[in-house]
Structure 1
Amino acid sequence: MKTRIGILGLGGVGGYFGGLLAKAYSQSDAIEIVFIARGKTQEIVAKSGLKLITDTDETYVFPTVVSNDPEVIGKLDYLICATKTYDIEESLLSYKKCITKNTIFLPLYNGVDAPERISAIFPDNEVLQGCVYIVALIESPGVIKKVGPFEKLFFGSHSASVTKMKTLQTIFENAGIQSTLVDQIEETVWEKFIFISSLASATSYLNQNIGEIIGSNTSRAVFVNLLQEITMLAAVKGLELPNDITMKTIQKLEKMPHEATSSMHRDVISGHKFELESLTAFVVNEGLKYEVDMPTYQKVLDALALKMPSE
């Protein structure tokens, strides 16, 4: 029996890591990679493959299956989820037929509430926690561009089968994916969330890329204020994060390509729906729950809420 891995969401994250998997296992008799895609992306990838562009090369990869039809997709052993956070429930319910009681979910979303939301739909399934560090985006349908050297994937669980997680880790390693199976995964996910939430909120609110934020004392202060507020929230929640996390996060920002920005900022610029609920509002709501003051987050939320396109 083949191990069947579904990739739901062919954006920067799903497209890049899914592409590495499809490239590695295109001729495999043991592992089958299934791209779950629709519309123009499905049409282009099915016909011409998925194009991956990095700083050094370009390559086309071909999954075993690319479809949005649950009958064609079939039953999945693992489902790597990388859609936008506002699509979690709708996208997963569309493919309920592909999920068995043994299917393991690996969410690679920008927020931290995805495992809880997935478990609400599939209470009998194992839902791992995961996060990635990568700057990658859709250049056009079926074309994923990765910028800079960041390319790390972390995942884990306190309850899932260690054997199945190690199997997945081996699958990643053999595909050349820089992945780490982490014991204290909640802290790892929150460490990433502190970075991505403050970055997405700052870039979108200021309408600036990373270089512009670093280069302006006023803009940098907004980012640092967001960072301090969300770090305080994590501490009050009881998460054991590094004492120097604020400084580490600022250093992480400075090492990133200065022309890069957050995916939320790109969506705001293009007038698309954006992940305000998961990346900014979630932090404000958690602040209310834990009685942590969030003045900068609240200011950013109020301003960005006015930019959200109507349904």
Structure 2
Amino acid sequence: MRILILGAGGVGGYFGGRLVEKGEDVTFLVRENRKKQLEKNDLVIRSVNNDYSFTPKLITAKDTNEIFDVVLFSTKSYHLENAIKDLKPFVRDHTVIIPLLNGIAHLAALKEAFGEEKVIGGLCFIETTLNNNGDVVQTSKAAKLVYGEFEGKDTERIRKIADAFSGTKADFVLSSAIEKEMWHKYLFITVMSGVTSLMRAPIGPIRESDGGRNIIRQLFTECATIITAYNAPISETIIDDHMKTIDAIGYGMKSSMQRDMEKNAFVEGDHLQGYLLELAQAKNIHAPLLEIVYQNVKVYKKLLQEQNQ
């Protein structure tokens, strides 16, 4: 099975690297600058779950004669449109696309671009970043990628993918309820990224401040109310479950959105909080705390735009 990783950043570089380490046929679709960097330094994973480095198979959007069975679509949401254009030449009738973006909004765009039958569900839990050398640095033990056919279908192609993904040093998990897991993660990442970026602090100081847990729970409640209004398959206990996760994660844990803001980089607020607010407005649901969180994102984007002018 030929596997294509869209990008070689913190997510694609890590999970793709673990598949290479196992012995799978993996290629990375990258931009020219990243290709030059990887050709010079190799792809290096520095991880609490064991380091690994290798010379990756690389292609760019110009190499249109390549064909792949599975694509891990691991770009950021603000690169979605360009990433779709880059990927199109490599997708054939049998190709399966597994998106690993945060949120839900990207599914419609991917299905429209490639066909509904080619897109299955996916998500991941991992804390990684690239250092100045372009190495993938994993800072916590969690490294879980969840995937599955929509509606829990058991197909020949998903069994083949499961076989290819088995036996690595990362957790590739086949799910029979991928829609629910994607909505659950969307709820969690919207709140986690929202409060940490709003308050410019890791989750520990926020939850342990006077009234902090109440604010977190209130945002969970607002977001879950919106999601439920669209009959999304979320658990009745999901707010309590997510609050337990909030209490269990490390004091210094930051969201990727917060880290991006600290680096004056682009953020995924439109794809996360912004999209959820669009759903709320369509159902006339008032979500005042979510509105504040998203306003913070809009102010940050405006300042970033002014700095780059």
Both proteins in one fold, TM over 0.5: yes
Superposition map of 1:214-253 within 5 A: 214-253=207-246
Matched-pair contact (CA < 8 Å) for 2:46–2:135:
yes
| Partner-residue secondary structure (3-state), 2:150 | coil
Q: Is the 8 A contact 2:74 2:100 kept in 1?
A: yes
Q: 1:77–1:104: 8 Å Cα contact kept in structure 2?
A: yes
SS in 2 for 1:243: coil
SS in 1 for 2:123: strand
- How far did 1:124 drift? 6.0
Deviations 1:88-140 (A, max 9, x none): 12112123211112211000001112221111111265101111112222223
Query: CA separation in 2, counterparts of 1:36 and 1:231?
Result: 36
Which residue in the other structure is 2:51 paired with? 58
Cα shift readout 1:177-229 (whole Å, capped 9, x = no counterpart): 31222222111101111111111111111111122222213443332221111
What CA distance in whole angstroms lies between the structure 1 residues aligned with 2:143 and 2:255? Answer: 15
Q: SS in structure 2 opposite 1:176?
A: coil
1:292 equivalent among 275, 285, 292: 285
Supply the distance in 2 between the matched residues of 1:41 and 1:307 (Cα, whole angstroms): 27
Letter in 2 for 1:102: H
CA distance in 1, matches of 2:65, 2:251: 39
Give me the whole-angstrom Cα distance separating, in 1, the residues matched to 2:247 and 2:136: 24
Q: Greater CA deviation, 108-117 or 148-157?
A: 148-157
**Counterpart of 1:163?**
156
Q: How many residues align?
A: 303
Are the counterparts in 2 of residues 198 and 226 from structure 1 also a CA contact under 8 Å? yes
TM-score, structure 1 length as denominator?
0.90
Deviation at 1:13, TM superposition (A): 1.6
Contact 1:104 1:126 (8 Å CA) reproduced: yes
Which residue matches 2:16?
A: 18
Select which of 109, 114, 124 maps to 1:122.
114
Tell me the equivalent position of 1:78: 70
Q: Secondary structure at the match of 1:217?
A: coil
CA contact (8 A) 2:27 2:58 kept: yes
Structure 1 stretches of at least 4 aligned residues deviating more than 4 Å after TM superposition: none
Higher strand share: 1
Aligned to 1:28: none
Residue from 79, 84, 89 that aligns with 1:87: 79
Q: Could you tell me which residue of structure 1 aligns to residue 204 of structure 2?
A: 211
- Distance of aligned partners of 1:56 and 1:79 in 2 relative to their CA distance in 1, 3 Å threshold: closer
DSSP 3-state at the match of 1:145: strand
- What is the CA RMSD across the aligned residues, in angstroms? 2.0
- Which ranges of structure 1 fall in alignment gaps of 5 or more residues? 26-30
Say if 1:8 and 1:141 are closer, same or farther in 2 by CA, change over 3 A.
farther
- Which residue number corresponds to residue 154 of structure 1? 146
Q: Which moved more, 1:160-169 or 1:271-280?
A: 160-169
- CA drift of 1:39 comes to 4.2
Structure 1 residues 99 and 242: CA distance shift in structure 2, 3 A: same
> In the TM superposition, what is the alpha-carbon distance from 1:167 to its structure 2 partner?
1.1
Q: Which of 42, 46, 51 pairs up with 1:49?
A: 42
- Can you list the C-alpha shifts for 1:139-167, whole angstroms capped at 9, x where unaligned? 23431111222222211123777111111
> Within 1, Cα distance between the matches of 2:59 and 2:184?
34
- Native 8 Å contact 1:8 1:37 kept in 2: yes
**After the TM superposition, which of the residue ranges 148-157 and 197-206 deviates more from structure 2?**
148-157
Q: Distance in 2 between matches of 1:96 and 1:162?
A: 24
Tell me how far apart the structure 1 counterparts of residues 2 and 75 of structure 2 sit (CA, whole Å): 19
Evaluate the alpha carbon distance shift between residue 216 and residue 53 of structure 1 in structure 2; reply closer, same or farther with a 3 A threshold: same
Deviation at 1:69, TM superposition (A): 3.7
Identity of aligned residues (%): 22
Q: Distance in 1 between matches of 2:286 and 2:100?
A: 28
Instruction: Please give the alpha-carbon distance, in whole angstroms, between the structure 1 residues aligned to 2:249 and 2:201.
Output: 14
* Correspondence for 2:187 among 194, 214, 217: 194
Cα offset for 1:72? Answer: 6.6
